[in-house]
A and B are shown apart, each in its own frame.
Chain A
């Protein structure tokens, strides 16, 4: 009995209680909300909700948020990966010179260029698909295009060629058909998400 009492009041068990009901839940919550894309309002929302939960229930509540993340944040991440994958399938069917340049771009820049220039989506739609703001999208586009331009200058082709990506994506009718299919799939996917990926 005395041993039990001593164990319950020892500094180790006390520090465990402090950790579980004091610091850990908030720390853990900060980690798990990062599953949401940075611009998603749920990040801020869950971090604020935390303070409304009674202290004694916080560890369990934070554990419950793991399911929220599972049902909401992971599908969002997965959709975005899917978009990146679909834009990559478009890249495969572009002209070989341009393909090499596109593959060397960071994935977000590449996706932005393909969705805007090749697929011809509007600025708003593209920002939505990638889950970024329109300003960020324009930055990505700018950086993507300028590195394409730089590569074009290095390899001796004219800058105009590199900028007009659409003009450079006509290798053969066969490839064009496949590219068209990939684009169609991208558009269907977009419709399936209800025009809203974020």
Chain B
């Protein structure tokens, strides 16, 4: 995958809580990436095996709403996205971003 601004932003959010379940809407909010860019990117990550997906258990839902789809980082995804952030740190294009300390 090409290292783009949105990929770096999304990887930062994903790596912030590497073991948590991530949801589409929250991801796009936190990363500041529009859904038109985010969802195709998530599909790519799924097919590359960086993410695993699943559906919420209907029994755990409070109130009347359909189950949501969640995304989890795989071990492979953790190393790959770590590499993306690492590369972004040494790339002048991403100098404006706050990439934080090495994780």
Contacts and interface: CB of A to CB of B under 8 A. Distances in A.
**Does A pair with B?**
yes
Interface of A: 41-42, 44-49, 51-53, 61, 64-65, 67-68, 70-72, 194, 196
In the complex, the 6 A-B pairs of residues with the closest C-beta atoms, listed nearest first: A67-B36, A51-B65, A45-B69, A48-B66, A48-B68, A71-B36
Contacts of A48: 56, 65-69
A52 B40 contact: no
Contacts, number: 49
Given A47-B66, A48-B69, A51-B66, 9 more contacts: A42-B39, A45-B69, A46-B24, A49-B23, A52-B23, A52-B26, A53-B25, A71-B37, A196-B47
B79 interface: no
B4 interface: no
Contacts of B40: 71-72
A52 B25 contact: yes
Given A49-B24, A53-B25, A68 B39 contact: yes
Nearest to A65: B35
Contacts of A70: 36
Given A52-B23, A52-B25, A196-B47, A72 B39 contact: yes
Contact of B68 (A52, A68, A72): A52
Interface string B56-88: 100000000111110000000000000000000
